C-alpha cells in the first residue's frame, strides 16, 4: 500500500457503488509484530458527520488529485459508451443487413456526421474533445468544480 500523509485528501472512485468520494487521511497507525510492520490509515469522508473508517475497507481506485479522478472517470465513461455503440452496431448488422452485406459493412467506417453545436456552453458543462475530433458538452459534477 502506498504511503499517505495525515491530512492528505484522497479521491476514490468506488467500485462497490457508482460515484466519487473524497476522504481525508486522519490517522496513520503503524503496527510492528514478529511478522513485520503494517501501516493502516483511518480516513474520514467529506460528507458531514461521517465516521472514520479504515482505508483498506473502501473498495475502489485511489487518486491524489481531483484531476486524476476526473480523467479516470472520463476514460470509464468513454469505454462504456464505446461498448454500447459496438453492441448496437452488432445488432444493426445482424438485424438490418444480409450476411454478404455484413462482411462489407464491418470493414467500412460510417462517415462522420457533423453535429450542429451551439457556440455557447451550458451552465455547469465543459467542452470535451473526443478522439475523433468531435466536441461534446459534458456536465461536470459539483464536487469536481
Q: Is 93 exposed, middle or buried (0-12, 13-18, 19+ CB in 10 A)?
A: middle
Query: What is d(CA 75, CA 43) in angstroms, rounded to the nearest whole number?
Result: 26
Nearest-5° Cα angle at 72, 69 to 75: 155
Which tens digit of pLDDT belongs to each residue from 35-83? 999 999 999 999 888 899 999 999 999 999 999 999 999 998 999 999 9
Which tens digit of pLDDT belongs to each residue from 92-145? 988 888 665 555 555 566 555 455 544 666 667 777 777 777 777 777 766 665
Q: What is the pLDDT of residue 49?
A: 87
Confidence label for 86 from pLDDT (cuts 50, 70 and 90): very high
| H helix and E strand count, the chain | 2, 7
Amino acid at each position: 500500500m502506498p504511503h499517505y500523509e495525515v491530512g492528505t485528501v484522497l479521491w476514490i472512485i468506488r467500485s462497490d457503488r457508482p460515484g466519487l468520494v473524497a476522504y481525508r487521511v486522519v490517522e496513520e497507525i503503524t503496527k510492528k509484530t514478529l511478522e513485520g510492520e503494517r501501516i493502516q490509515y483511518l480516513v474520514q469522508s467529506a460528507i458531514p458527520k461521517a465516521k472514520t473508517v479504515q482505508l483498506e475497507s473502501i473498495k475502489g481506485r485511489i487518486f491524489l488529485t481531483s484531476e486524476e479522478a476526473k480523467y479516470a472517470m472520463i476514460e470509464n465513461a468513454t469505454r462504456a459508451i464505446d461498448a454500447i455503440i459496438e453492441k448496437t452496431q452488432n445488432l444493426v448488422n445482424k438485424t438490418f443487413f444480409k450476411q454478404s452485406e455484413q462482411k462489407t459493412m464491418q470493414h467500412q467506417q460510417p462517415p462522420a456526421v457533423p453535429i450542429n453545436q451551439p457556440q455557447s456552453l451550458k451552465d455547469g458543462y465543459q467542452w470535451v474533445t473526443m478522439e475523433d475530433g468531435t466536441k461534446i458538452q459534458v456536465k461536470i459534477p459539483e464536487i469536481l468544480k
